[in-house]
Amino acid sequence: MNFPDKVTLTMKDNQKLVIKEMITLVYSMSRLSGGKATLREAETVILGSDVYGLSMEDTQLIRRLQSAVELVIRNDHPGSVEILSRINGLVTMASSLKAGQLRKAPFKVVATGRMIPAADEAVVANAVEGILHTEDSATLKALRLILVIVNQQFYADANEATAFLFANYVMVHAGAGMIMVADEKLTAFRQLMAAYDGIDDEPPLKWLYKNCVISDH
């Protein structure tokens, strides 16, 4: 499979790109997390104001996601399981006592009945590090990370947003652009991941590459 980077930027320029697209990225992550805020409401919260009628839960979600995106922009350490867990901790902080901790209990996928065993620390580390240390393009690494994190549900909550934020962390550090799910693609993404068996990567990789990798800058 060949999934070359769609853009080639310096890390600094990629950081500027994410800052420019901060509102859209946070909004996209909130939708992945089940948030109800509109794009305009997300913008208002990010700029520091409360929104009349927006629940406290949605307001806090936007602020937590903003903090996670700021980590993606400002942290200069290489991608790692530690960074991945820090991102999950920021996204789920105050909403879960298990924020940033690997899932310790089996998980049943309602749509398919598939049972996923508890997330084993060594298995997670091998999966994540194995992808990060390949010679693949940064974009392919990021997409493969999304697949494994969402499919294996590493955390008790917010796996989708965590996966995309960590994928963007990898993209930013490589100067490869951004990845996000547009509103109109969200249902198709959920259907894609529900059908993904964890074995045949090519169909979901092609879909994500075509629909979620942002090439404009």
* pLDDT at residue number 114: 77
- Count Cα atoms within 13 angstroms, Cβ side, for 82: 3
Dihedrals φ, ψ of 154, to 5°?
Answer: -55, -30
pLDDT digits (tens, 9 = 90+) for 51-73: 999 999 999 999 999 999 999 99
* pLDDT at residue number 33: 92
* pLDDT at residue number 111: 67
Among left, alpha and beta (phi > 0; psi -120 to 50; other), residue 60 is alpha
pLDDT for residue 195 is more than 90: no
DSSP string, 3-31: ---S----HHHHHHHHHHTHHHHHHHHHH
Report yes or no: 89 and 100 within 8 Å, Cβ to Cβ. yes
* pLDDT at residue number 197: 82
Extended beta strands in 63-207, E state: 107-108, 115-116, 178-179
Greater model confidence, 25 or 198: 25
Task: Read off the pLDDT band of 98 (50, 70, 90).
Answer: low
Instruction: List Cα–Cα distances, 68 to 45, 62, 71, 179, in angstroms.
Output: 15, 10, 5, 15
Q: Where are the domains of the chain?
A: 11-208
Greater model confidence, 70 or 94: 70
pLDDT digits (tens, 9 = 90+) for 109-154: 776 777 888 888 999 999 999 999 999 999 999 999 999 999 999 9
Which two structure tokens, joined as six digits, stand for 45?
Answer: 């919260």
Which DSSP helix (H) or strand (E) runs through 213?
strand 213-214
Which two structure tokens, joined as six digits, stand for 103?
Answer: 């899932």
Which DSSP helix (H) or strand (E) runs through 160?
helix 159-174
Report yes or no: 65 and 26 within 8 Å, Cβ to Cβ. yes
Cα–Cα distance measured from residue 85 to residue 217, given in angstroms and rounded to the nearest whole number: 29
pLDDT digits (tens, 9 = 90+) for 177-191: 999 999 999 999 999
CATH number of 11-208: 1.10.3290.10
| % of the chain beyond a pLDDT of 70 | 95
Task: Read off the pLDDT band of 19 (50, 70, 90).
Answer: very high
* pLDDT at residue number 105: 84
Tell me which residue has tokens 């996000």: 180
Surface-to-core class of residue 200, CB atoms within 10 Å of its CB (0-12 exposed, 13-18 middle, 19+ buried): exposed
* pLDDT at residue number 144: 97
Dihedrals φ, ψ of 65, to 5°?
Answer: -65, -35
